[in-house]
Amino acid sequence: MRRQAQRMERSGTPQSPVSGTECRKCARIRRLPCRAGLFLRAFFVYYLGMDIITLGNELLRQKAEPVRPIGAEYRKIAEDMIAALHEGKGVGLAGPQVGLMKRIFVVHIDRDVPRVFINPTITMTSQDQVKCEEGCLSIPGMYADVVRPESIQVQAWNERGRPFTLDAEGILARVILHEYDHLEGVLFIDRLSEPKRNKIISKWEKRKKA
Ligand code: NI
């Protein structure tokens, strides 16, 4: 998810080095077949660094696979994802956004430590819902109000393979839910009404062509 406070200065300037539909590396990685592809994608991400893919890349629409086992390589993957998150000036980044189709995401909001979630499960969502503006590193420059539960409980493993349970509310809960959606191939624009979604998509396509 993108940091909202800085949207004015950043709108129209894609954060990712990827422009257009996808870079050569993403295209190369995307063509690899299923299971071997998953392994090789993890390998490419591990050794070649991370580019954030954007709307239009079909990887954003696929469901990510569980991490089994949570090997030592996930410490570096998590570290690289946090670095990519900081570079993109975002607050959350999920595996599929860097072409890694694994159930992992990282979150770093203001006045909090960076957090890593592997194989997360949302174990509780509050009845209370709140509306708040969201953006996404994979749809740079686009923002819309999204309604989500106010507070949640999430169970996951960290990059060292240790399980934890976290009660989160407010912006932290929102970012976790946004990133969890990425693992399911869901984007924040899917949670908007159809006219609003179409408006964002056409604006995005126009901006991409410009
Ligand atoms: Ni996002």
Would you write out the chain's pLDDT as a tens digit for each of its 210 residues?
776 544 433 333 333 333 334 444 444 444 444 556 555 555 555 555 688 999 999 999 999 999 999 999 999 999 999 999 999 999 999 999 999 999 999 999 999 999 999 999 999 999 999 999 999 999 999 999 999 999 999 999 999 999 999 999 999 999 999 999 999 999 999 999 999 999 999 999 998 887
Measure the CA–CA gap between 68 and 123, rounded to whole angstroms. Answer: 20
Q: Which domain holds residue 136?
A: 8-209
In a domain, 3, yes or no: no
Ligand 1 centroid, distance to 1 Cα (angstroms): 4
Q: How far is CA 179 from CA 43, 50, 108, 155, in A?
A: 22, 17, 12, 14
Element (H, E) at 105: strand 104-107
Tell me the CA–centroid distance for residue 209 and ligand 1, in Å.
21
Q: What is the pLDDT of residue 210?
A: 78
How many angstroms is it from 9 CA to the middle of ligand 1?
19
Q: How many independent structural domains does the chain possess?
A: 1
Per-residue CA distances from 73 to 47, 67, 159, 180 (Å): 11, 11, 9, 21
DSSP string, 49-61: ------TT-GGGG
- The catalytic position among 169, 179, 194, 205 is 179
User: Sheet containing 151-157: which strands, arranged edge to edge?
Assistant: 92-94, 104-107, 115-125, 151-157, 163-169
In a domain, 2, yes or no: no
Nearest to 191 by CA among 168, 174, 167, 170: 174
Active site residue 179: yes
Output the six-digit token pair for 120. 């997360």
The per-residue pLDDT for 180 is 98
Q: In 3D, which of 136, 110, 133 has the Cα closest to residue 52?
A: 136
For the record, the structure tokens of 44 come out as 């490419």
Distance 189 CA to ligand 1 centre (A): 10
**Which residues are registered as beta bridge partners of 156?**
164
Cα 181 to ligand 1 centroid, rounded to whole Å: 8
Q: 174 CA to middle of ligand 1, Å?
A: 11
Domain contains 14: yes
In the reported structure, the alpha carbon of residue 182 is separated from the centroid of ligand 1 by a whole-number distance in angstroms of 7
Identify whether 131 is part of a domain: yes
User: What 3-state DSSP class applies to 199?
Assistant: helix
> HSE (CB half, 13 Å, CA atoms) of 15?
28
Q: What CATH code is carried by the domain that includes residue 190?
A: 3.90.45.10
Q: Please check whether residue 1 lies inside any domain of the structure.
A: no
- Per the listing, tokens 């060292």 go with 160
Q: What is the DSSP letter of 95?
A: G
The one-letter amino acid code at 178 reads H
**Quick one: tokens of 21?**
């539909």
User: Would you call 149 helix, strand, or coil by DSSP?
Assistant: strand
* CA dist., res. 149 & res. 170, Å (int): 9
pLDDT reported for residue 48 = 52
Tell me, what's the pLDDT at 45?
A: 56
